[in-house]
Structure formats: C-alpha cells, structure tokens
Amino acid sequence: MIYIHSVGSLGRVENEALDVKALWKAISPKMIRRTDRFIQLSLLGANAALEGRALSPHTALYMASGQGNLAVFKRLRDQRYIHKQPPKPVDFINSLSNTAGFYVAQHFGITGKNLNVSRLTHVAETLLLLAQNDLELGREKAVLLGGVDELQEPFDFTRKTLGICDKTVLGEGSNWLLLSAQKEDALASVVYEKEIFTLETLANYLSQEERPYRYTFSQSSASLLQETVTPLLELQTAFDCSCGCGYYETAGLYIFAEFVREGQGTLLYIMTEGSNYRLIRIEIFS
Amino acid sequence: MVTLLGGDIYSALGDVNERLVRLEKGSYKTVQKKMVLMGEDLSFAYYSIDDSARNSALSIPLEYLERVVQSAIDKLELSADDLSHCGLFLGSASNDLSLSLPLGQNYDNSQVDSVGCERIGNGYYAEHLSQHFGLHPFSLTYNTACTSSANGVIDAASMLEGGLIDFALVIGFEMFAPISFEGFASMQLLSPDTIAPFDKNRKGIVLGEAISALFMSRDDIYDTPWKYLGGVGRCETHSVTGANPDGVGIGEVIGAVLKASETQPEEIVAVKAHGTASALNDQAELNGMKKVFASAPDFFSLKPYIGHTLGSCGSSELLLLMECVDAGFVPGTPNFKVQDEALEWAPLREMKKCETGKFMLNYFGFGGNNTSLVVEKVVK
C-alpha cells in the first residue's frame, strides 16, 4: 500500500480560457524564457501540489502524458514545411517531452529518477502501478507523479485522434500527487489492485465490500463500464466529477485529486481494456 | 534475481554474424545524408539500417518492430504462455508516426475530415505489439531522450522483481527522423564524417537508427548466465541539454548504481560508455567516472558501430555488449587516434578478450537524464 501526501490540479474545458503563461510568470518570471505552455502547465500543476512543501532531493518524478508536448511538434513541423526553416534549438529541445520533467525537477530542487511516459489508454493509472511497485520495493522513497495533457486545436481533429467519435467536451490538465510508502502525514491511501479481473472476479471483489463506497469509471472506458459494471454497483453512490475537467488522457489523476480534496470515504476507480478490468482504491484518512 | 535473456537488433551493423565480425574488427559502415540548412548545403554521416525496400509509410515501423520481436521470440523459444506474462517497455526519443504523420499532413487544418476516428499517437506501437504478440496488459512507452530504453530496462527489472510480470520485453526504437536530424544539425552537434568518442579531435555526434528487442525475466522463471544487478536513473538539473562537464551528476549516478548493485568499482570488467563524441559529453562522462574509479577501467563506446541511436541506445547497446561477451570479447573504440590531454583516460582501441564478469553501461540525455546499469555474465 502507498499513500497520497498532497494533490494539486490545474486545467480547463475546451470553451474556457486559461492563461498559463501569466499564471506561471506570477510565480517564476525567470523561468518563462525557455519554457513553453506545456512546460508551464506542468510546472503550475506541480506547484499546486507542492506549494510550501519541502521535498527530499531524491524524490522521483514520474510524469505521464497522452501525447506529450504536441504543440512544440507542430511548431517544428511549421518551421520545416511551411517556413522552410531549421528547427529553433529551444523548440527542438522542448520537443523532447521530458524537458517538462527537467524544469519541474529544477524548480523544486529534486534530482531523483525522472520519467516521462505515454500509453494509448490509462497512462497515468499504469504509471501509478509502476510507482506503487517501486515504492513498495523500497526502490524509491517518494514519487511526485503527474499527468499533463495540453488541449490541441482543431478540436475535431483532436477528438478523432483520441478515438472519440462524438462531440464529447475536451479538456486539458496538469494533475499531480505526492506519493510515498509512509503513512505518516498522509491524506489517503491508494492501492492499484494487482489482480487483473474478469467481470466475474470483479463482481466477486465488489460483493465482498462491507462498507459503503463511491465509485467512478475511467473516462476512456466509461461507456463500456456503464453497461457491464453499473449493475454490480446499484447500492453504491457514483463519484462524478469528470464534467469539471473535460476529456483528456490523464484526467484520472484529476478524479483522484478531486476525491482527496473532497476529503472523505472510499473511492473505487474502475477501468477496462479489452476483456480485462482493473481497479484502483483510494481511502481518505479522516 | 532478474535475468537478461537476449534478443535481436536491427541496426547499421547487419545480422548477428556480420555485426560480430565488425565489432571484433572495429569496422562499420555509414551513409551520407544531405540537408539544406539556412540556405547552405550540408552533408552528414549517418548509420542507416540497410534495407532497400524502405520507404516512409506508416506500416514500415510496425513491420520492423514485428520482425525484430518475432526474431527474438524465435531465438529464445518463448511460448504463448510466456508472452502472456510479458510486460512491454518501449523507449523512443521520437514521436510515434501514427500521430505525427496525420499532424504533419494537417498543417493547414485541411485534413481534419480525412482522419479516421481511432486512438493513435505515442503508445500506438506498444499497443499494437501487445495485441499482435498476446503480451501482458502492462505496457509503457518511454520518452526520456537518449535514456528512454535504458529507463525501460530499469522499470522492467522493478516490475519483474515485484512479481507483477514474469517476462519483460524492452524495445529500443529509433528510425531516421528529419526533424531530429536537422535539430541536432542546427545545434551544431553533428560530425560531418566520423564519430570519434574521447578523441582529442572529435567533431561531434553521428546519428543512427536501431530497433532492438531485449527480453528479461527472473531466475526462477528463465535462468541465464546474464544477470541484471542494478540500475539507477537521476535527473541532473545543471542544463537541459547535457550533464555538468565537471562530472558531479554523472559521478553520482555511477556511484549510486554501484551501491545498488553491491558492486565495487574494481569488480567492473569494462564500462560501456555513453561516448557520443560530443566535446562536453565525453568530458562530463570521464570526469564522472574519475569520481568513482581510482584508475581508468577498460571502457569503450559502441556509437562508432551503430551511431547515436538516441532513445534506442539503452537496449540496443546492452544487446550488443551481451553478444560480444558471449562471443568472447569486448569491442574497441574505432576512430580513437589522439589522446585528449584534458580527458587523460583513453578508451580501448582494440577488442579485448572477455567471457564473463560485471559490466557497467552508461546513458545520458537531454532533459538532465543520467542512467547507469550494472549487469553480469556468470560462468555457467
């Protein structure tokens, strides 16, 4: 079992404005010049989670993103194919998405392992499983785990590449959790259940819950789970906060952070991929 | 204990027979790639996978990936059941073509309607391979620049040690990408002709492409003479483009991996250096090694053989090292001719006979990523 010590979020849905540059400039004007919006979004979310908190310098930084810094890739594309110019060095460097992790590490003075990963679905959740394993094995003492996705225009193009065939409202966000294997001073525990469930074994797991809990589904599997799993949960209350963030690949961390901020109870977060079901359990400490 | 099973690699070195001959003799082959930069015609050496059937179609990366993974599976005689317990860790410094191609074509937003409704982008290759080979559901795609697949090796070992998977497939994937090529050129980091790591007259990096598939396991599942003893990743925040030339950050990660692997410096038989032949990287690496090693260990760079394969070099260079030692040697470092007084230490010039022992592998990248591994080949 691992523990959540702090959470922080920043984001918007597609019809809202979010002046990331102005927000970050107010915090650290000296880091504006070489950072772009994706990096600033990363910094702001991490800052929301860590404001006023001293980190061990060996804290690891695990960062997930559905696509990484796509805006800079588009700039590089335009420089090459439209303007017939070579890549600007700062854009070329920032096109390596772990540059965001570098600036977060630099700003917060941490020098531990620094990861940047992607995955077609459940990237932040999968990274949480890796963090849980590393913390339980004692390979890491603390992990700052974040998920960052920047909304790209045109929205219809983005929806299609996300595999969304309707007009689902998109969002963007930077959500961070500070994790450790130490219960002291923690806000909540979090367990990524290692068992890969079938619908039958998931039903069995849920039937053994003795206390009331709240549940929610990952965004990418919500429609499938509404049909198959909701009937197993009829006595429980849904935790629905996804309308506040819009759809993006790492929004699961927004849901976790919202539940921790709400400050009570147990959350079962259920996902599906193919015929498999996975479950993450968060329990808030009173 | 975590074991390294081996695998296969596509690179400029050709098949296993050709690459062992070249690695033993210190020979290699490059092509010249041209570009126009700020109105100037430029030409740079490049280590290219030799395949006349190649084009830039989206299907080609997947075809290469499937071929190299299948070759590794066949070599190791892994069963469908083995693969169903095998997690996937794919490292690449490049964007997945499944999304970057549509993005490139849609530069004027005129192609929105032509894009189908399918989740694509970074992670697409890993998802495809997981489905194609019936792998365990755990997969991640790493983008930590030149340490991408090396970090995949570390996390694969962690997931194996935690018992969450019984096998791991680490893929290093890098193919020619014009923007990367021109990006390095615009930063004036490329050598026009040869790569000469640690040489006084080194002129910079020569890029290359490689696709490697390395399988790992635990000794209770699939024992081999090759053991993974430890790996450490660190973020050095001195500069986003490279390690501090004073070697502090690199010294820290090398010291940490020796501690994690319970290895004394004098036990290291040879170091596979990162050895990019960029002026500052080579300086930082040797200054870092000097903070840990009392005297120069045998060290070499594999980049004169396959080029700097960026996110692929982690698993690709580990596989090449394993193949060399299995053949009874560690390779020399071609093109090293003149001692750099500032560096003091010199790499192995010729191959050296070696059949067992502990080896260190170093990888450093943009974004402050420093990663170091220690592996061992034991006597059967």
Same domain as A183, residue A193: no
CB of A205 within 8 Å of a chain B CB? The answer is no
Same domain as A49, residue A163: yes
* Residues of chain A neighbouring B117 (CB-CB closer than 8 A): 159-160, 163-165
A197-217 pLDDT per residue, tens: 999 999 999 999 999 999 999
Does pLDDT of B135 surpass 90? yes
* Residue ranges making up the domain that contains A22: 2-187
CB of B52 within 8 Å of a chain A CB? The answer is no
What percent of chain B stands above pLDDT 70? 98
Which of 243-272 (A) contact B at CB < 8 A?
A: none
A84-93 pLDDT per residue, tens: 888 888 889 8
Facing A118 at nearest CB: one of B141, B155, B367: B141
Same domain as A182, residue A46: yes
pLDDT band at A94 (very low <50, low <70, confident <90, very high): confident
CB of B41 within 8 Å of a chain A CB? The answer is no
Highest mean pLDDT among A121-135, A238-252, B88-102 belongs to A121-135
Nearest to B29 by CA among B49, B57, B9, B44: B49
- What are the structure tokens assigned to B348, written together? 């192995």
* Contact assessment for residue B198 and residue B351, using Cβ atoms and an 8 Å cutoff: no
- Which residue does chain B place closest to A35, by CA atoms? B240
Q: Is B108 exposed, middle or buried (0-12, 13-18, 19+ CB in 10 A)?
A: exposed
Same domain as A227, residue A154: no
pLDDT band at B59 (very low <50, low <70, confident <90, very high): low
Average pLDDT score, chain B? 94
What residues pair up with B207 in beta bridges, in sequence order? B308
The number of domains in chain A is 2
Count Cβ neighbours within 10 Å for each residue of A119-145 and write b for 16 or more, e otherwise. bbbbbbbbbbbbbbbbbeeebbebbbb
Does pLDDT of B368 surpass 80? yes
Question: What is the rounded CA–CA span in Å between residue B161 and residue B350?
Answer: 37
Question: What is the rounded CA–CA span in Å between residue B307 and residue B209?
Answer: 7
Same domain as A218, residue A152: no
Which of 230-249 (B) contact A at CB < 8 A?
A: 232-237, 240-241, 249
B218-238 pLDDT per residue, tens: 999 999 999 999 999 999 999
Give this complex's ipTM.
Answer: 0.97
Q: What would the mean pLDDT of B276-287 be, rounded to a whole number?
A: 96
pLDDT band at B97 (very low <50, low <70, confident <90, very high): confident
SS3 assignment, position A179 = strand
Please report the pLDDT score of residue B58 as a whole number. Answer: 47
Q: What would the mean pLDDT of B56-79 be, rounded to a whole number?
A: 87
The more confident residue out of A48 and A86 is: A48
User: What pairing do the DSSP bridges indicate for beta strands A2-13 and A171-180?
Assistant: antiparallel
From B90's Cα to the closest Cα of chain A, the distance in A is 10
Mutation choice for B interface testing from A96, A103, A136 by most B CBs within 10 A:
A96
CB-based contact B368 A105, cutoff 8 Å: yes
CB-based contact B367 A99, cutoff 8 Å: yes
A213-235 pLDDT per residue, tens: 999 999 999 999 999 999 999 88
Same domain as A216, residue A203: yes
CATH number at residue A244: 3.40.47.10
Same domain as A162, residue A204: no
Question: Count of residues for chain B?
Answer: 380
Q: What would the mean pLDDT of A4-11 be, rounded to a whole number?
A: 97
CB of B45 within 8 Å of a chain A CB? The answer is no
Please report the pLDDT score of residue B51 as a whole number. Answer: 67
- The domain boundary residue, chosen from A144, A160, A187: A187
Superfamily classification of domain B2-105+120-377 = Thiolase/Chalcone synthase (3.40.47.10)
Same domain as A143, residue A19: yes
Same domain as A171, residue A200: no
Q: Kindly give the residue spans of alpha helices, DSSP state H, lying in chain B.
A: 16-25, 59-76, 80-84, 97-105, 124-133, 148-161, 178-186, 248-260, 279-290, 303-306, 313-326
SS3 assignment, position B289 = helix
Q: What would the mean pLDDT of B74-86 be, rounded to a whole number?
A: 98
A142-164 pLDDT per residue, tens: 999 999 999 999 999 999 999 99
B312-327 pLDDT per residue, tens: 999 999 999 999 999 9
